[in-house]
Structure 1
Amino acid sequence: MSVIPDPRKLHRSVLHSAGFALLAGASPQLMSQTPVQQESLALEEVVVTARRRDETAQASPVAVTAFNAQMLEQAGIERVEDFIQLTPNVTLATSQGIGTSFLSIRGQTQVRNGEAPVAVLVDGVLQFSGIQLRQEMFDVESIEVVKGPQGAIYGRNATGGAIIINTKKPSDDFEGYVEAGFGDGDEYSVETSLSGALVPDQLYGRLSAKYIDREGYLRNITRNEKDDPFEDTTLRGRLIWEASETLSLDFRANAQRHRGRGIGFQYQAVDLADDGITAIGFGTGTGPIDANNVLPIISNNPDRGERDMFDLALKIDYETDFGTFIATSAYTDIEEWSDSDQFPYTNARSSAALFGFDGTQTGFFDLQAFSQEFRFSSPGDRALRWEIGAYYLDWERFISLSTGVDTGDGIRRVERRPITGPINPTVSFLADDNDNTAWAVFGQLNWDLSEQWEASVALRYDEEEREQRVSPLQFPAGEPGARNSATYDKWQPKVTLRYLPSDAISWYGTYGEGFRSGQFNQNGISVTAAEAGINGVTDVVDQEESQSYEVGFKGQFADNRLRLNAAVFSTDIEGQQFFSFIGAISAQILTTIDDVSLRGAEIDVLYRAAEGLDLYAAFGFTDSEIEGYTPNPAAEGNDAPYIAEQTWNIGAQYILPWNLANTELFTRIDFERRGEQFWDVENSSARDALNLLNLRFGVEDQEGRWSLIASVDNATDEEYNSEWVVGGFSAAAPGRIWDVKYRYNF
């Protein structure tokens, strides 16, 4: 368990070796504390809901990094990558497109077009798509990152863990805030929230909104403009009706309109060490391709992407003497478009380029989904606690990927039909509809064997039926109009034993199994892949299954001023899914690695050094090994792709009261190190280790009414690629970024 401390209640937290230097050089007044002062410096408990009931994070037998509302605000967490950077053994790449992210948690990795390895819940509602995680994080009450298999509790695709997000509930009294900011890339932003009782003691409402407009960070030197613009509008409303003492209804609606970058890759044909421009594009370069080369953006067409998303959710709670009944209904509608051009304009239809011509790419994604869950759980104050439930999911998805000829007249959007004619004609169109249903039944039993021992058993059965209908207009690969179907299912057990030798110490051990659903590649892609020399590709992708063991320790020392947590884990995966790209027809495919082993450990420390000064450090280690890979046995023994062997988080946060206008000065330093990671099974390409430094400083009112905070991310201006695809496609990460924000609470 790792917790970033509450900056006001805990007087802040976290990170970097500089913070330890502060501690070592602290004055006797800071280091010598009376018993009363020591008690006042004790770290407060943090409550988590990882096991679907409230319990303290230190007593919960799971590895969890938790953030409450004040922690989120003071850490400057505004999107998913911000809190991932503060979580050991978890990394995230956000490069291709506005809805694409690649999450890795303890070596369980997300791949493009595949299912995420974590369950994502917002206000208790399981989300349908990884795209839903790529939203602005604002007006949020808490976030929990739970590590280890959670399939027995949350179901399909929770092989690596769960991310639990709770937005702020409507309040009884009228309250709200407004925040405005400006920053690098000509960014301007504003967000606000209003909350209060609509009908006293019965109906409560909350309305939140955020708008961001940014020209961008990365310049296209051919077009002489920013290549990554960003405009996002998000609206969220929430109503809670306390119909009676035993019945309550919680309704939430969320809408997002996003206009930004498309795919965003640049193509690297040869080694660019000497010249970053003339070596790009077409030709038969023989130099090595380096995954660490950060390429200039020189495409003649802009990379653009759009997303429209709408969510509805209703949760009904009904309490009885025997237990609590919870019914949750949810609906999601997502449309997403992306355009891309990785090359400068050559006015050539024939060359030795990747596509055989100067090509463009477009993608279209359309999803509608509905889910229903019923749960019935016993009261939480009993020695024997239980929960049973059932889950149903129905969703339809259409996806198309197309390649066109760059005629110098821009990119024409392709959705459900290819384009003909002289302007940007389509030369490859891969498209299909997916109709999918899934259902599950589950149960959980927790038994206090004594005051010190607790045993937990959970079991869930998931079954998923998928049907693929290939577009009759698809070409040149596959069988237009073909139909495929497959069923995936798995029993997912989890057993946990917890031992509490004292109020300050906790030991736990757990065993769990999970599975990530299989799915379909584009029809006929197996034949095309074989022709391109890529083996092991099938039209139907098998499900991924895992078995995990974990032993953990949690302790509090020095009058609860020091918190130390550690865990070791072992995971074996059969059929780990990973991504490949066939440039000849712009095909994005999934294939599997037969057997992968993951062995790792985590440790995190939080120390209240003095009034207002907190120090934090965390380390994660994951040793991955490919133990079986039928398409290329020579890869056995290699590291699995997309996994950073080491992650470090170190830093410090200090609050200094200031007599001027009843204010306090705020300073925070966050340092993150991500170890080397390979991008492919053969380990032929790797990104070097990264060192990222983030700074925050400002002034705020001691009563919490207002704050003025300046932030600098990637303060050392580290240059690196956020993602790299075998074949020479790279996506550059932004360099140094700054912003200033003023917030007023009322």
Structure 2
Amino acid sequence: MTSTLALLLALQAATPAPAQVPADQAVPATTPAPAPEDDAATGRTGPAVANTGGDIVVTARRRAESIQQVPIAISVIGGTALAETGTYNVSRLTQLQPTLQFYSTNPRNSAANIRGLGAPFGLTNDGIEQGVGIYVDQVYYSRIASATFDFTDTERIEVLRGPQGTLYGKNTTAGAINVITRKPSFTPEARVELTAGNLDFFQGKASVSGPLVDDKVAIRLSTSVTTRRGTIYNVRQDEYQNSQDNLGLRAQILWKAAPNLDLTLYGDYNRQNPNCCVQYYARTGATQRPLNRQYAALAAAQGYVVPSTNAFDRVTDVDTDLRAKQELGGLSLVANWDLGAATLTSVSAYRFWHWNPSNDRDFIGLGVTTVSANPSQQSQVTQELRLASNGSNALDYVVGAFYFYQEIDTQGLQVQGPAASRFLLNPGASVRPGASGCATATTTACIPATLNNLTSRNTIGFTNTSAAVFGKLTWHASDQLSISPGLRVNYDKKDGSYVSLVTNGTNTALTNDQRGVLAPQSYDPSFDNWNVSGDLTVAYNISPDVHYYATYARSYKSGGINLSGLPLDAQNNPILSVATVRPEKVNHFELGLKTQFADRRATVNIAGFWTEIEDYQATVTNNQVGVLRGYLANAGKVRTRGIEVDSAFRPTSRINLYANGAFTDASYVRFVDAPCPPELTGGTTVGAGQTPAAAGTPGLSPANCNISGQWLPGVSRWAFSYGAEYDLPARVAGVDGQFYLGYDGSYRSKFSSNPSRSLYTDINGYALSNFRLGFKAEKSWNAFLWLRNAFDQNYYDVLATQSGSTGLVVGQPGDPRTYGLTVSASF
């Protein structure tokens, strides 16, 4: 890093004083950023709301500032860059942002992480917070499922890395994704974008805006529709699965009530109803179960063969109908009152989220688990008041108060099928050896009726109240030096109720075998806590184009409650001591350099970070009667550290280049009682004085594992995004414009897809390449051909294991090669 800094300083010293850079030569600050002005003629919306001397202006600190002078690791992607790269949701944003990770097995079970932190890897637990905040037009979205929706009429997206609790309403310990939509216009305008591609892909976006009452009231209406055939063919159900079917509607009304007061009313409704989401056979790996109880023997004993053992043949035969329907929407009112020296902002919002799923949780065409669904309804109310100075003072400040209230009601249903007994129960040593341990049907494991129609109905309630006051002061000690302390006082209270009623197929008392698979339980967890957090940033401007900063933050992620069921004691009662999890305590250090040189035709930003978390909230398993149950607990300590580089270059007016990279070392520092990987599960739990069998060898299994030093899941040590665009001015049919050829690439190195790293669930590194070729007509339209995953790279989004330590590993492959045409116009 020292040599890099020296090189940048040498280049800066050799560069003449900066001049005003024309708008068409402004250098983007991150991934393929277009010119920063909003070009209504082409539909090109850059990453800035204003353009001053080639600077990109953002509102990350609740005031308009040049991105280069904001002492935060931040990336910005403009609306046209989103459209041209096919980045229409957060999942696709990861190909442009190396330190952003997003995983989703279905919309509810999604996780957004930054630098490896944010949410524990695995199934979603409603009782905890997310560490990466998602904000749309200043409103906090508590459901990560909202990140799976299409971006609608988006002006830009700001991705902030590191704790943001002293600037944003909800405390976010890992970062924030700040989505800003286009605002109503008093000049009539309309935009339309149509895309068609293979796999029956269609996407249509449109918006219209104009005045309702002279220069007092303006309206903006927007919509988006996305449909696509599924990428996985189900041979049993004769249909394609993992499809897309999205609808988004958005309306805004802006009222300029006075020269210094404006109010904007927002309303939105989003619906997804895809035939989704399937995970299926990827590979098998040996566990410590007896061989006749591992997947190969169990499947052979029932004459079952998967359609293909190569996941990239993209065929499956899961026998449960799939559904991933969700509805999300709300209303918000944002008021800005300019008081002269400061602006008072109020953000009032109501939001709802309805989830109606159907999953196949055995991942194969046998009736192990025939129903697995957790329909859920959530509503939230938020109120934020914020006072921010209008700048140009020795002291700038942001102070605010935030209130959040959330209710969630969930109705869980799980039903076991006729194959469950073979897969989940132990035939016992008394059974004569056979392919499945069932040479004679004399034990409950060999009788389908033992678990067939065993049903668990779960009623889950949750209320979440959070309140905070926060603020950040910036003292401009000189033209070069600024010091910015921040403080947050936060209160959280969570109350839950979990009731599981279990019945069998004969409506008789449950047997021990049945209770070992689905056990009735009832508990009412509660958590409340006050905490104080803060940060300190020192920034120094060595020149108008070279800026340094150093940050220390002490942050907290709220504690929580377990709402997915608890492990049981020897009497099959829930272990109430693990009903709650403690808050995460975060210590964060960061050094950053932001620089422009070569007459601002080159931008290179570097950030180095070191973050340690005590009481990290992790997914833990409990191995009872051979069935794994996941719940939340506090790991001792984790650490993530690394370095990030964002760079963009414009060597000529026709060429744009960018290259972003991240090295991230994210690991468990101390986690001595962690869940074991699949190769160390499935056997009889060791007793005192006993020694576990070797990994993948049937026999005794450890009760837990020490995984200190292992990787955190989902994080690649190396990640890059890079690309270029070449423009050639031309006149076609009397229309002035330019032809362009663009390329966008990304690379991720190997990462773990399991909370405890396993050789079976490591996902190998992969690179993706996307191309586009088009023509932009000045002030009218844009048309381009696109090719994504051009070389048809086979890769997995996630890998997981089948319950019960059978050794079956299932996967969700990434998209294959896709291609199509996009045409957009502005009027």
Structure-1-length-normalised TM-score: 0.85
Q: Give the superposition deviation at 1:284.
A: 9.0
Matches within 5 A, 1:72-151: 72-94=82-104, 96-111=105-120, 112-114=123-125, 115-151=129-165
Partners of 1:314 and 1:663 in 2: CA distance: 40
| CA radius of gyration, larger in | 2
Partners of 2:746 and 2:466 in 1: CA distance: 39
Q: Give the superposition deviation at 1:679.
A: 2.4
> Is the Cα–Cα contact under 8 Å of residues 339 and 361 in structure 1 kept in the other structure?
yes
Partners of 1:581 and 1:722 in 2: CA distance: 23
How many pairs were matched up? 683
Matches within 5 A, 1:492-507: 492-507=533-548
CA 1:11–1:241 in 2, change beyond 3 Å: closer, same or farther? closer
SS of residue matched to 1:527: coil
Instruction: Find the partner of 2:767 among 691, 716, 735.
Output: 691
Of 166-175 and 85-94, more deviation after overlay is shown by 85-94
Q: Give the superposition deviation at 1:461.
A: 1.3
Partners of 1:423 and 1:84 in 2: CA distance: 42
Whether 1:381 and 2:387 are equivalent positions in the alignment is: no
> Is the Cα–Cα contact under 8 Å of residues 529 and 535 in structure 1 kept in the other structure?
no
CA 1:721–1:578 in 2, change beyond 3 Å: closer, same or farther? farther
Query: Identity of counterpart residues, as a percentage?
Result: 26
SS of residue matched to 1:81: helix
Partners of 2:755 and 2:357 in 1: CA distance: 28
Instruction: Find the partner of 2:232 among 210, 214, 218.
Output: 218
Instruction: Find the partner of 2:710 among 635, 638, 645.
Output: 638
Tell me the residue number matched to 1:330: 349
Deviation digits for residues 276-332 of structure 1, max 9, x if unmatched?
xx95984699xxxxx996574221233221011121111112222452221111101
Partners of 1:132 and 1:296 in 2: CA distance: 29
SS of residue matched to 2:258: coil
Matches within 5 A, 1:296-335: 296-335=315-354
Code of the aligned partner of 2:379? Q
Partners of 1:266 and 1:280 in 2: CA distance: 18
Partners of 1:725 and 1:261 in 2: CA distance: 20
Matches within 5 A, 1:725-736: 725-727=800-802, 728-736=809-817
Whether 1:660 and 2:732 are equivalent positions in the alignment is: yes
Tell me the residue number matched to 2:692: none
Instruction: Find the partner of 2:478 among 425, 445, 450.
Output: 450
Instruction: Find the partner of 1:182 among 185, 196, 206.
Output: 196
Instruction: Find the partner of 1:369 among 342, 364, 380.
Output: 380
Whether 1:403 and 2:417 are equivalent positions in the alignment is: no
RMSD: 3.2
Tell me the residue number matched to 1:554: 594
Instruction: Find the partner of 1:711 among 759, 768, 786.
Output: 786
Tell me the residue number matched to 2:306: none
Whether 1:573 and 2:613 are equivalent positions in the alignment is: yes
Partners of 1:650 and 1:642 in 2: CA distance: 21
> Is the Cα–Cα contact under 8 Å of residues 472 and 480 in structure 1 kept in the other structure?
yes
Deviation digits for residues 335-389 of structure 1, max 9, x if unmatched?
1111112444446xxxxxxxxx353311212101101111122332211112222
Partners of 1:428 and 1:58 in 2: CA distance: 55
CA 1:312–1:358 in 2, change beyond 3 Å: closer, same or farther? closer
Partners of 1:529 and 1:611 in 2: CA distance: 72
Q: Give the superposition deviation at 1:213.
A: 2.2
Deviation digits for residues 471-493 of structure 1, max 9, x if unmatched?
36467667655322111332120
Tell me the residue number matched to 1:265: 279
Q: Give the superposition deviation at 1:228.
A: 1.4
Tell me the residue number matched to 2:75: 65
Tell me the residue number matched to 2:423: none
Whether 1:737 and 2:815 are equivalent positions in the alignment is: no
Partners of 1:320 and 1:522 in 2: CA distance: 46
SS of residue matched to 1:454: strand
Tell me the residue number matched to 1:471: 499
> Is the Cα–Cα contact under 8 Å of residues 5 and 11 in structure 1 kept in the other structure?
no
Deviation digits for residues 679-738 of structure 1, max 9, x if unmatched?
2344213111111111122222123x1111222221111112211224423222221122
Deviation digits for residues 90-147 of structure 1, max 9, x if unmatched?
22223x1134422221121423325322121111122222122221112111110011
Partners of 1:738 and 1:394 in 2: CA distance: 44
Q: Give the superposition deviation at 1:451.
A: 0.3
Partners of 1:478 and 1:231 in 2: CA distance: 37
Partners of 1:292 and 1:570 in 2: CA distance: 40
Code of the aligned partner of 1:735? P
Q: Give the superposition deviation at 1:596.
A: 0.7
CA 1:730–1:528 in 2, change beyond 3 Å: closer, same or farther? farther
SS of residue matched to 1:71: helix
Structure 1 unaligned residues grouped into runs of 5+: 13-41, 273-277, 286-290, 348-356, 409-420
CA 1:301–1:132 in 2, change beyond 3 Å: closer, same or farther? same
Partners of 1:130 and 1:459 in 2: CA distance: 26
Partners of 1:170 and 1:681 in 2: CA distance: 45
CA 1:655–1:436 in 2, change beyond 3 Å: closer, same or farther? same
CA 1:284–1:154 in 2, change beyond 3 Å: closer, same or farther? farther
Tell me the residue number matched to 1:416: none
> Is the Cα–Cα contact under 8 Å of residues 43 and 560 in structure 1 kept in the other structure?
no
SS of residue matched to 2:471: strand
> Is the Cα–Cα contact under 8 Å of residues 97 and 261 in structure 1 kept in the other structure?
no
> Is the Cα–Cα contact under 8 Å of residues 544 and 573 in structure 1 kept in the other structure?
yes
Matches within 5 A, 1:157-168: 157-168=171-182
> Is the Cα–Cα contact under 8 Å of residues 471 and 486 in structure 2 kept in the other structure?
yes
Instruction: Find the partner of 1:4 among 31, 44, 57.
Output: 31
Partners of 1:699 and 1:528 in 2: CA distance: 67
SS of residue matched to 1:85: coil
Structure-2-length-normalised TM-score: 0.77
Q: Give the superposition deviation at 1:620.
A: 0.1
Code of the aligned partner of 1:388? V
Deviation digits for residues 581-607 of structure 1, max 9, x if unmatched?
779878553333210111100112211
Tell me the residue number matched to 1:483: 524
Whether 1:153 and 2:172 are equivalent positions in the alignment is: no
Code of the aligned partner of 2:70? S
Code of the aligned partner of 1:189? Q
CA 1:140–1:72 in 2, change beyond 3 Å: closer, same or farther? same
Partners of 1:482 and 1:721 in 2: CA distance: 38
Instruction: Find the partner of 2:667 among 625, 632, 637.
Output: 625
Partners of 1:396 and 1:585 in 2: CA distance: 31
CA 1:197–1:639 in 2, change beyond 3 Å: closer, same or farther? same
SS of residue matched to 1:172: coil
Tell me the residue number matched to 2:642: 600
Deviation digits for residues 199-219 of structure 1, max 9, x if unmatched?
011001000011122222221
Partners of 1:70 and 1:530 in 2: CA distance: 60
Instruction: Find the partner of 1:517 among 558, 568, 579.
Output: 558
Partners of 1:142 and 1:188 in 2: CA distance: 23
SS of residue matched to 2:316: coil
CA 1:144–1:241 in 2, change beyond 3 Å: closer, same or farther? same
> Is the Cα–Cα contact under 8 Å of residues 193 and 822 in structure 2 kept in the other structure?
yes
